[in-house]
Amino acid sequence: MKLTLSVIKADIGSIGGHVVPSHPLLNTVREQVEDHGRSTLIDSYIGSTGDDIAILMTHTHGVGSEEVHRLAWDAFLAGTEVARSQGLYGAGQDLLKDSFSGNVRGMGPAVAEMEVEERTAEPLLFFAADKTDPGAYNLPLYLAFADPMNTPGLLLSSKMADGFRFVIMDVSYTEGDRVIELSAPEELYDIAALLRDPERYVVESIWSRSTGEQAVAVSTSRLHNIAGKYTGKDDPVMLARAQMHFPATGEILAPYEIGHFVAGGMRGSHNMPLMPVELNSTISYFDGPPIVTCAAFAVHEGKLTEPVDVFDHPFWAEVRERVADKAAEMRRQGFFGAAMLPMTELEYTGVTEKLETIEERFRVRGSRD
């Protein structure tokens, strides 16, 4: 069965700053999708990660379907009304365009989609991250799909022996989608050379080289490229198929044990470690730390089982403690050096303006001529 998996997410308002959407807001989005999606969707799941609401949908209309995108857009519009009526912070903030024009790409919400031939058993992982941007998945994906130190399946399973094809996007390019395809393991160093720069190069999708099937889809939108200025972090979503010709669920999850430093946290302008947390978690310390959730599903004829919260486990509780220590340790150096993002990535213009005002007070002492 040809099945499309679509996840569309947006921040349309939250309680207590950028913390969590309200129950009435979430319920409105859920009801809208259920009521208006009956003839369009096979199934759906709605969840929150920090201040973001994600709508996961299964259907047969293909990637970029106007009907499916409009459904999500209208649900976010209805939710925005509720957010406004409750005085939620940032009501409708990710809906950057006034009217829907066929596809939510380039309109603010993040999208990750893939059309797949459903397998007899279809284990699906749905990731959502808040207070960070799409490059946050670069390292975990590299480790899960290209590094046998993380993924023994690359050695043990003949189904994965041919490796994977990475499609990587240059998200700083705004005239269109500037992408490159690179194959692991042959082009491992080229992949690493790009992925080391997560603010510019972002994994968009990953494909099995033995079957040609798509394993991963990541949202790659950069809000400031759409709005012309920063309007918040891009808070990426990702779909990953597990097992068989793809890495096992545990191999895909294992890299989140690192708590790697990503762009995000306070005012979208700091480097902080990514903390794997339970579904529907809120935001707290230093408007962070950046968080990632993961819901596991079995998909059958497009129907989703109940979500299983894979980071809700004693193992990850220990990881969270360590990541909290890393976050606090980085915060001890305040604005200094690696703690704050480089100029180009700052969400606020205050520092640049300040530097402009003191520029004229510089003087050159002596001359080397």
For the annotated catalytic residues, the residue numbers are 11, 230, 233
User: 81 to 140, contacts with Mg ion by CB under 5 A?
Assistant: 130
Q: Which of 79, 135, 268, 289 binds ligand F6R (CB under 6 A)?
A: 268
Partner that binds at residue 204, options Mg ion, ligand F6R, none, CB closer than 5 to 8 Å by kind: none
Looking at 37-45, 142-150, 231-239, 314-322, which segment touches ligand F6R (CB under 6 A)?
231-239
Name the nearest CA neighbour of 285 among 316, 344, 326: 326
Taking CB under 5 A as the criterion, the residue among 11, 122, 287, 347 binding Mg ion is 11
Which residue has tokens 């043990």? 156
51 or 251: CB nearest ligand F6R? 51
Q: Tell me which of 122, 235, 251, 309 binds ligand F6R, using CB under 6 A.
A: 235
**222 part of the interface to ligand F6R, by CB under 6 A:** no
Instruction: Centre a 10 Å sphere on the Cβ of residue 359 and count the other Cβ atoms it contains.
Output: 8
Q: Closest distance between Mg ion and the C-beta of residue 166, in Å?
A: 26
Range 307-314 contact pairs with CB under 8 angstroms and sequence separation of 24 or more: 307/45, 307/47, 307/126, 307/279, 309/278, 309/279, 310/125, 310/249, 310/253, 311/253, 311/256, 311/276, 311/277, 311/278, 311/279, 312/278, 312/279
Task: List, in order, residues 6 or more apart from 186 with CB less than 8 Å away.
Answer: 163
Q: Which residue has the tokens 């749905």?
A: 126
CB of 293 to Mg ion, least distance (A): 12
Instruction: Assess 251 for contact with ligand F6R (CB under 6 A).
Output: no
Task: Measure CA 296 to chain center.
Answer: 16
CB nearer ligand F6R, residue 223 or residue 310 = 223
**Angle at the Cα of 225 from the Cα atoms of 258 and 180, rounded to 5 degrees:** 65
Per partner kind, with CB cut-offs from 5 to 8 A, the member of Mg ion, ligand F6R, none near residue 347 is ligand F6R
| Ramachandran sector of residue 258 (left: φ over 0; alpha: ψ -120 to 50; beta: rest) | alpha
- Of the candidates 233, 260, 270, 320, which one interacts with ligand F6R according to CB under 6 A? 233
Site for Mg ion in 19-38 (CB under 5 A): none
Closest to 76 (Cα-Cα) out of 111, 41, 43 = 111
User: With respect to ligand F6R, which residue has the nearer C-beta, 79 or 232?
Assistant: 232
CB 145 within 8 A of CB 216: yes
Binding mask 47-66 for ligand F6R (x = CB under 6 A): ---xx---------------
- What's the Rg (C-alpha) of the chain? 21
Contacting residues for 355 by C-beta, under 8 A, at least 6 apart: none
Q: Which residues are 44's β-sheet partners?
A: 57
Which residue lies nearer to ligand F6R by CB, 208 or 269?
Answer: 269
Residue 224 makes contact with ligand F6R by CB under 6 A: no
φ/ψ of residue 345, rounded to 5: -105, 0
* 287, 297, 302, 345: residue in contact with ligand F6R (rule CB under 6 A): 287
From ligand F6R, Mg ion, none, interface partner of 267 (C-beta below 5 to 8 A by class): ligand F6R
Does 345 bind Mg ion (CB under 5 A)? Our answer is no
122, 204, 309, 347: residue in contact with ligand F6R (rule CB under 6 A): 347
Q: Out of 13, 232, 236, 259, which residue is the one contacting ligand F6R (CB under 6 A)?
A: 232
Q: Rule CB under 6 A: which residues touch ligand F6R?
A: 11, 18, 50-51, 130-131, 232-233, 235, 267-268, 287, 347
Q: Rule CB under 5 A: which residues touch Mg ion?
A: 11, 18, 51-52, 130, 232, 235
